[in-house]
Amino acid sequence: MTTYRIAEAAELLGVSDDTLRRWVEAGRLPGSQEDGRTVVVGADLAALAESLADHPDREATRASAVSARNRLAGIVTKVKKDTVMAQVEMVCGPYRVVSLMSSEAADELGLEPGVRAIASVKSTNVVVERP
């Protein structure tokens, strides 16, 4: 079972450590004690990340002030596999990223909900908009 310390979990969601501690204290995210430190289970963090992607709390994230460039650190929220292909969904801060890869690659990387991963984006077409 994958667990994350508060600081690690906060970084994955793009929120401050204090925000994540408040969410644990309020029961929004289950936490437990491990070696005297509060930790959260990866699958629980993935579920919260998914809910934030569906209903972003933009004021609680720091992502708007950071240029992510082409590498987005995040947490895997879903993996759908068949015999050949896998669809891997991640939440990277307030962003939802979906990747298609071979099932073999997903297995080799050990991708499952709650696992930390980095989405590297390479595209010849990128649309940039201003609000």
Domain ranges of the chain: 3-63, 65-120
* pLDDT of the residue at 104: 95
Q: What is the pLDDT of residue 56?
A: 57
In whole angstroms, what separates CA 8 from the centre of its chain? 11
Spatial contact of 119 and 69, defined as CB atoms under 8 Å apart: no
Burial (Cβ within 10 Å: 0-12, 13-18, ≥19) of residue 85:
middle
Matching residue, tokens 């990223």: 97
Q: Kindly state the tokens that stand for 124.
A: 């010849």
Same fold, 3-63 and 65-120: no
Written as tens digits, the pLDDT of the chain (131 aa) is 789 999 999 988 888 889 899 999 999 999 999 999 999 999 999 999 888 876 655 444 444 433 435 778 899 999 999 999 999 999 988 889 999 999 999 999 999 999 999 888 877 677 777 66
Tokens of 49: 């990340």
Second CATH level (architecture) for the domain 3-63: Orthogonal Bundle (1.10)
**Which helix (H) or strand (E) is 9 found in, with range?**
helix 6-13
Q: Which two tokens stand for residue 126?
A: 């990128």
pTM above 0.85, yes or no: no
pLDDT at 94: 84
pLDDT for res 6 = 94
The answer to whether residues 100 and 86 touch, using CB atoms and an 8 Å cutoff, is yes
What's the pLDDT score for residue 55? Answer: 67
Output the CATH code of domain 65-120: 2.40.50.100
Specify the residue for token string 């991708």.
111
What's residue 65's pLDDT?
A: 38
- Over its C-alpha atoms, the chain yields an Rg (Å, rounded) of 15
